[in-house]
Structure 1
Amino acid sequence: MTKGSLYGVGIGPGDPELLTIKAHRIITTVPVIAYPTMENGKVLARAIVADFIRPEQIEVPMPLPFSVERSSQPYYDIAAAKIAEHLQVGRDVAVLCEGDPMLYGSFMYIFRRLADRFHTEVIPGISSTLASAAMLGAPLTFRNDVLSIMPATLDADTLHDRLAVADAAIIIKLGRHFAKIKSILQDLNLWERALYIERATLPNQVIKPISEVDPDNVTYWAIVMIPSQTNPQ
């Protein structure tokens, strides 16, 4: 029996119109759709492409913990096993991944578990990091600038050292780490350059001056951007 193909489909930052044509084709034609679900029951990835999923398609929810305190390995093991059952009997499976599958994407962990056993194809998507720059209307880099993308979950010393030498930077996974980021940016005199956005391209997108952000109410899906200071002229 011919095995099914595994597709890691980048579905972009939230706006369904930012799907690539290829992503749309795969999502609307495969017999099985898999997607991560959060601990609180929310299913953001599926919601982005809900209008494209057909009733006859098989859906495979993948419960995943998003808290750093809990190990995600057993959850990915379970998800990979469920997906493998469909692939083994010849059903193609599309795994939905917000943003781009290979940039902090949940699909990477499925890829590591299954790509050596099944034909696998990755469909790139627009990352929320780059979508945020577009929504903020702020060019990230010019000429020989080096862009650094770093998670706010890093320890303070590491973040401080990397931001100190960055031409331009994007800080992701803010959540409860905003106060730490604020302190570092102020110490490095980057606070005035910093831009803030939540849930880029989604209907509930929020852009506000970083000085008005309440540290106690920052979502995991928020980003701080430090654009380049290079003069492009």
Structure 2
Amino acid sequence: MSGTLWGIGIGPGDPDLLTVKAIRLLGALPVLAWPAPLDGDGMARTIASPHIPAGKIEIPIRLSFRPERDDTDQAYGNAAETIAGHLDAGRDVGVLCEGDPLFFGSFIYVLDRLRQRFPVQVVPGISSPMAAAAMAVKPLSLLDDAVAIIPATRNDEQIRAMLEPADSAVIMKVGRHLSRVKALLADMGLLDGAVAVERATLADQRILPLAEISSLSYFSLILVHK
């Protein structure tokens, strides 16, 4: 019998925000995989580290994290075959994913390659919009409010079209797109009141009015309320 592929959401950064089920599985699963930079453990492994006992088979999925993502397909293809070898041998494998596995989650790259071959289960995690809203104490929606989730990688016309009908929005993957997004929000009259949240729930998190921010890392987002 083959093993089961687990997508494990490990939340936004604070190790205390992992679910009880995620912590149990980190202790029980024999094989763990996660996305990692070319050197070092990476964010996912670092978040989960307090809950990972010694003796695991570990599979870091090495990525350059270049904006063009030209190594993504090969890296996840190679990792999927390594993971498949363990699953074929009957070993369950957990793929760690920051936030939630199915919300902009790196786990999806593995899922798409293996879901037709092996049983799959997913453990939800706290996603970055939920964490950022909590840290900033900014409600995202109430009653019939519509919330837009918008990648800053979209062009200005697309972002504007998604913002216009929404009551509130979360603009993600801001990083190097900050200046362009700020200019667009200012043009739409939405800059005042917009809040930037960087590295939510971590010790070095920043929460500031967007108008006061001049730079943001990849691990950041913008909360917009009309």
TM-score by length of 1: 0.93
Q: Tell me the CA shift for residue 111 of structure 1.
A: 0.6
Q: Deviations over 1:119-164 (max 9, x none)?
A: 1100000001111000000111111111110110111111122112
Give the aligned partner of residue 190 of structure 2: 190
Query: How does 1:41-120 map onto structure 2 within 5 Å?
Result: 41=40, 43-71=42-70, 72-120=72-120
Aligned alpha-carbon RMSD (Å): 1.3
| Aligned residue pair count | 225
1:220 equivalent to 2:201? Answer no
State the match for 1:38 in structure 2.
37
User: How far is 1:95 from its partner?
Assistant: 0.3
Q: In 2, Cα distance between the equivalents of 1:139 and 1:202?
A: 20
Cα distance in structure 2, aligned partners of 1:47 and 1:120: 24
The residue identity in structure 1 corresponding to 2:6 is Y
The SS at the match of 2:207 is strand
Report deviation, 1:66. 2.8
> What amino acid is the match of 1:221?
F
Q: 1:140/1:107 Cα in 2 relative to 1: closer, same or farther (>3 Å)?
A: same
Does 2:201 match 1:201? yes
| C-alpha contact 2:33 2:96 (8 A) present in aligned 1 | yes
Taking the aligned partners of 2:86 and 2:98, their CA distance within structure 1 comes to 22
Q: Which TM-score applies when normalising by structure 2?
A: 0.96
For 1:130 and 1:137, how far apart are their aligned partners in 2? Answer: 10
Query: Cα offset for 1:64?
Result: 2.6
Shift of 1:65: 3.9
Structure 1 unaligned spans of 5+: none
Q: Which runs of 5+ in 2 are unaligned?
A: none
**Match for 1:139: what amino acid?**
P
Secondary structure of the structure 2 residue equivalent to 1:117: coil
